[in-house]
Amino acid sequence: MVYPTIPLAQSIIELCKAKKLTNVVISPGSRNAPLTIGFTNDPFFTCYSIADERCAAFFGMGLAQQTRIPTILVCTSGSALLNYYPAVAEAFYSQIPLIVLSADRPLHKIDIGDGQTIRQQNVYQNHILYSANLTEDANSTNDQLINTAINTAITSQGPVHINAPFEEPLYQTTEQLSVNPIVEEPLFPALPAVDYDYYAKQWNKATKKLILVGSLAPHTLTDDVIAKLTADGSTLFLAETISNIQAPGVINAIDRLVIPMDDEALQNLQPDILLTFGGMVVSKKIKQFLRQYAPKQHWHVDMLRHYDTYDCLTDRISTDAQSFLTQLTANTQPISSTYSSWANAIMVARNTQHKQLLQDAIFSDFTALDYIVNQLPKNSQIQVSNSAVIRYVQLLPVDSSIAVFCNRGTSGIDGCTSTAIGASIGSGKSTVLLTGDISFFYDSNALWNAYVPKDFKIVLINNGGGGIFRTLPGHQENEVFNTYFETTHQHTAQHLAAMYDWAYFQADTTEALSTQTQAFFNTSDKPAILEVNTPTLLNDEVFKKYYRNM
């Protein structure tokens, strides 16, 4: 075995190995050479080399999103670790475990004019669970800091930062391990007891209970517990598409239900108890509704965090959703109420209208995505970029065998492609990214990746700019809007596909989309892009007409 000669690098690598962290994403550099030598020469680790640190961090986050095991990110000193920051913030709010391992200059070389040197200590302080600022030596204090950082990422499911200063020479190796670091096992904190009798009594008294679920990993809840909840006429179950909960009695297209409602209907929808779990919620309208028509009680169930998203949080329940709902349904009885049947009857009529409106609509972002989602391979995974595309997908029925993910922690367009590629490797599933043009071109370095699976696919909806801004109040058709809001452009992905040797398909009509989609999904010898060009000036009208006629 080949080791770096620097003892501190040895300690870091041995502690990562002891905690069974296998995935390491390395961005090439010099100051991180001791870490790179150690990780790449140990067959225990699976190492990936990705030059662009922003892409590398999102790629690593995609791996961790699927495995729930911390991914290690290794970079050189200077601005390199700043490029990790967007992914660090996303991981912080999405509760995805990352370990940022940054190489640094020794402390005495900071702020003296040395090259590639910045103030790296605590650089992520507003969006990090723990920062370990190491000294140059391998010692028990450093071991404790490293242990605490790794254990925090594991137990608290989020990003941590280990900053390691190395002095030259950096590239020397040895066949002898000179350290034996102390390994501290992660300790999961004891959770407060849940008073199930209290919650069962409250649940049994309420005639209008609303369950709202944001982003959630697939198979978090069993079919049995969902069936028990939806069988209760006083319980209305709303679950976003990214909740990965699709079952009879569960309403997924939340905006289709809520946006067209008048004041009287919204008052009828106002719950006595709001029960939430899962991560961030996409629907802006449901947030506005619950803030205006506040429930008497809001319970949020989560092992780690309890955000007061609707300004009415009353109960922070520290357990997992499956355990809580299993206990709750074992001690509650269905209540005679029209709450659920009323909402579901509205939804039946709206679903019928939805199909008719899309059938009659012109070729657009909405109709193209509706067609493509219907063609997705069963048992696959879709990653969805932010901005307009996720809002369209939230309105479309997705086959229950398909897992759905989106970076909703910060809701940024940056890194969506890189995340999707990492997630495809982490899951081992056939993965399709549904993305908009600005998100795609913004993260085009994601294609500069030697590890993309051959069955990875991108559906690129190219409407020539940030079309979502056309749906917002205040839109005016002028040069300022087109330049500074919409980001008007004439770019296509054809040359990028050729440069990175991806298969490329293009469609700009309903007929072409049908033909090209079939060929696109049948491609299996290399990654593929299907670029769908839609009319820039008409997409917003299709979307607005949809809600006007709902």
Same domain? For 401 and 532 the reply is yes
The residue assigned the tokens 């140059």 is 136
Compute CA distances 518 → 367, 377, 511, whole Å. 16, 11, 11
Same domain? For 294 and 374 the reply is no
Provide the pLDDT for residue 445: 98
List of the chain residues with pLDDT < 50: none
Provide the pLDDT for residue 352: 97
8 A C-beta contact, residue 209 and residue 235: yes
Compute CA distances 356 → 241, 353, 457, whole Å. 21, 5, 29
Q: What backbone torsions phi and psi does residue 191 show, to the nearest 5 degrees?
A: -95, 145
Provide the pLDDT for residue 27: 98
Q: Using the 8-state DSSP alphabet, how is residue 473 labeled?
A: T
Provide the pLDDT for residue 64: 98
Dihedral of CA atoms 84, 90, 95, 100 in degrees, nearest 10, equals 0
Same domain? For 379 and 422 the reply is yes
Give the whole-angstrom CA distance, residue 75 versus residue 231. 52
Question: What are 396-409's pLDDT values in tens digits?
Answer: 999 999 999 999 99
Single residue among 290, 317, 344 that ends a domain in this structure: 344
Give the whole-angstrom CA distance, residue 124 versus residue 130. 9
Give the whole-angstrom CA distance, residue 201 versus residue 205. 6
Give the whole-angstrom CA distance, residue 72 versus residue 385. 24
Same domain? For 16 and 140 the reply is yes
CATH of the domain at 390: 3.40.50.970
Same domain? For 373 and 512 the reply is yes
Establish if 181 belongs to a structural domain: no
Same domain? For 408 and 539 the reply is yes
Give the whole-angstrom CA distance, residue 418 versus residue 73. 14
Establish if 353 belongs to a structural domain: no
* Interior/surface letters 455-472, b for 16+ CB within 10 angstroms, e for the rest: bbbbbbbbbbbbbbbbee
Compute CA distances 291 → 473, 483, 521, whole Å. 21, 34, 43
Establish if 183 belongs to a structural domain: no
Provide the pLDDT for residue 468: 59
Same domain? For 299 and 431 the reply is no
Same domain? For 379 and 294 the reply is no
Same domain? For 242 and 374 the reply is no
| Percent with pLDDT over 90 in the chain | 92
| 466: containing domain | 361-549
Same domain? For 423 and 528 the reply is yes
Establish if 480 belongs to a structural domain: yes
Same domain? For 94 and 240 the reply is no
Establish if 415 belongs to a structural domain: yes
The token duo for 398 is 């997705």
Provide the pLDDT for residue 198: 98
Single residue among 174, 205, 239 that ends a domain in this structure: 174
* Interior/surface letters 88-108, b for 16+ CB within 10 angstroms, e for the rest: bbbbbbbbbbbbbbbbbbeee
Establish if 190 belongs to a structural domain: no
Angle between helices 416-427 and 53-67 (to 10 degrees): 40
Strand 71-75 relative to strand 297-301, pairing: unpaired
Q: How many domains does the chain have?
A: 3
CATH of the domain at 267: 3.40.50.1220
Provide the pLDDT for residue 435: 98
Establish if 288 belongs to a structural domain: yes
Burial class from Cβ neighbours inside 10 Å (0-12, 13-18, 19+) for residue 160 reads buried
Establish if 32 belongs to a structural domain: yes
Give the whole-angstrom CA distance, residue 292 versus residue 289. 5
The token duo for 306 is 């309890």
Provide the pLDDT for residue 115: 83
Same domain? For 212 and 296 the reply is yes
